[in-house]
Structures are given as structure tokens and as C-alpha cells.
Amino acid sequence: MRTTIAILLAAALSLAFTPAMDAHADALAAFAGQKGEIRIAGGTAHIPVMMEAAKRIMTANPDIHITVAGGGSGVGIKQVGQGLVDIGNSGRKPKDEEVSRYGLKMFQWAVDGVGIIVHPSNHLRDLTQEQVQKIFAGTTTNWRELGGPDHTIDLYTRDASSGTREVFWKKALAKGEIAGSANFVVSNGAMKAAISQDPYGIGYVSVGHIDGSVAPVAFNGVEPSLANVKNGKYPIARGLYSNTKGEPTGLVKAFIDYLFTPDGQQLAADKGFIPVQ
């Protein structure tokens, strides 16, 4: 009897897991029999997808080695253009001048929103664009001016090479000033960590990075949610790009292609982004 139950259980597990395993196997078939290295750097919003894709590929084929680093969109574009990495990620579309200088090929595999965040203890949950502009310009400096506690606003931003900063600066701030007194952080992860530990802080991150450790703030009454980014209601949004110097070939092409497979697009969705296919 036990043997019969064991056989039936094994059969049930096989039926449950084989389709998913087959899907992964089909998507990773392009890497079979290949050897080599892929170097990736740039936008930090991309890192969760890049790391998981790299893990799947290297697990399927240990002869392939993939390194993933951050640095920001500007760094990714510059490093791939200079041949220092094979794929340069950017949270903005490369400028025409960058494309022509480096001979870039651009591959947009997902859409992302950039959301304003505060500490969960901060009950402010909606800001107008004018209020956001004044906060980040350093004109509004105390939470009391917005109906909050009598405490200085701790402002957080990203450095000039960040694609997250660029889209926020363009679409939320209308290219307005960012106060020189703002605290600089190096990545989406660092921003989330900083705001989660500062009851008086305000900053911005990729919507895919928002979790219970921080509180999202609506912009002009629109929540920074995946649904609102997808339906176009939330205006602070951008494409996620993986860029190569010239047409990709070999392992690099296989990696880029993987991002557009159903497996890769589901991975993007699982990490909080909106697939393009």
C-alpha cells in the first residue's frame, strides 16, 4: 500500500512540476554547450532581475560565469561604450549623443515607475507636484508646513548618474532644482534602507523596490502602484534598458534574448516590473 501511495505521489509531483521545469529548460536551451563570461553593470533597479537571470543561467550551465554590478545608468552606458562590460543597464533611454558615440544597441525589456517614499510612521500619503517640487528644491523644509510634525524634512536623492534620479527630476520635478543639502544615496536599495530608518525622511525609488519597510506617497492623487504604471495613470515612469556596444553576439545575445522569453518576462514581473511582451 505504501509503495502504491509513493508511486502516485511521485507521479503527481512530476505532473505538477514538469511544465515549469520544461519552461525554464526551453528558455535556457540557448546556453547549452556554451562557455564564457558576461559582464553586466549599470542601473540598480535592474539588479534583482539580472541576478536571478544570472543564477538560472549559471545553474543550468556552470561553464558560464556572469558578474552583475550597479553604479547607475550613466555608469552602465559609459562602461559598455568603453568596452569595460558587455551589457550596460540604464533606467533611461540612452541619449542620441551616447548612442552615436558608442554605437549602442538598446533593448527595453520592462517598464518601471519611480515612487515617492516616506517612513511608515509618517502619515502623509499624498503630495501634489507643486509640493514635491518645493520639498526637493529646499523651499519647504519642515513637515509642519504639510500638516505633519514640527520637524525638519530629511531629503534624500540619488547622484547625477542615476536613471532613477533623471526620470524623477524630469517627470516629478519638471527639471526643477534639487537642494544641495539633500543626502545622496548610491542605489534603490540604499534609498529604501535610508528611508526605512528615518522617520522624517523622504526620497524616491523604483516602484518594484517598494515594500512594507517604507510607505508609498501618491503623486497628484495617484498611487505609485504597478497597476497605475501599467495603465498609464501614474506619470513618473520609465523604460528599463539593457544596452550593448554594437549588435550583441554569442553569450551576450543569448542573455538579451532570454530577457524577452516568456520566462524572462515573467521574471521581470515577479521582481515588480511591467513586462513589454
All three cell numbers of 264: 524572462
pLDDT at residue number 54: 98
The mean pLDDT of the chain is 91
Give the HSE-up count for residue 102: Cα atoms under 13 Å, Cβ half-sphere. Answer: 26
pLDDT at residue number 22: 55
Instruction: Give yes or no for residue 18 having a pLDDT over 50.
Output: no
pLDDT confidence of 160, banded at 50, 70, 90? confident
Kindly state the helix (H) or strand (E) to which residue 199 belongs, with its residue range: none
pLDDT confidence of 5, banded at 50, 70, 90? very low
When pLDDT is averaged across residues 215-221 and rounded to a whole number, the result is 98
116: exposed, middle or buried (Cβ count in 10 Å: 0-12, 13-18, 19+): buried
List, in sequence order, every beta strand (DSSP E) within 43-103. 64-71, 87-90
- pTM of this prediction? 0.79
65-88 confidence digits (pLDDT tens): 999 999 999 999 999 999 999 999
pLDDT confidence of 161, banded at 50, 70, 90? confident
| Rounded distance between C-alpha atoms, residue 49 and residue 53, angstroms | 6
140-149 confidence digits (pLDDT tens): 999 999 999 9
* Lowest mean pLDDT across 18-27, 47-56, 82-91, 243-252: 18-27
Instruction: Give yes or no for residue 174 having a pLDDT over 60.
Output: yes
Kindly state the helix (H) or strand (E) to which residue 239 belongs, with its residue range: strand 237-245
With contact defined as beta carbons under 8 Å apart, do 133 and 173 qualify? yes
| Rounded distance between C-alpha atoms, residue 191 and residue 169, angstroms | 16
pLDDT at residue number 23: 57
Write down the domain spans for the chain.
34-112+238-275, 118-236
Instruction: Give yes or no for residue 247 having a pLDDT over 80.
Output: yes
CATH number of this structure's domain 34-112+238-275: 3.40.190.10
Q: Which fold has domain 118-236?
A: D-Maltodextrin-Binding Protein; domain 2 (3.40.190)
Question: CA 43: distance to chain centroid?
Answer: 7
189-214 confidence digits (pLDDT tens): 999 999 999 999 999 999 988 999 99
* Range 164-181 burial, b when 16+ CB lie within 10 A, else e: bbbbbbebbbeeeebeee
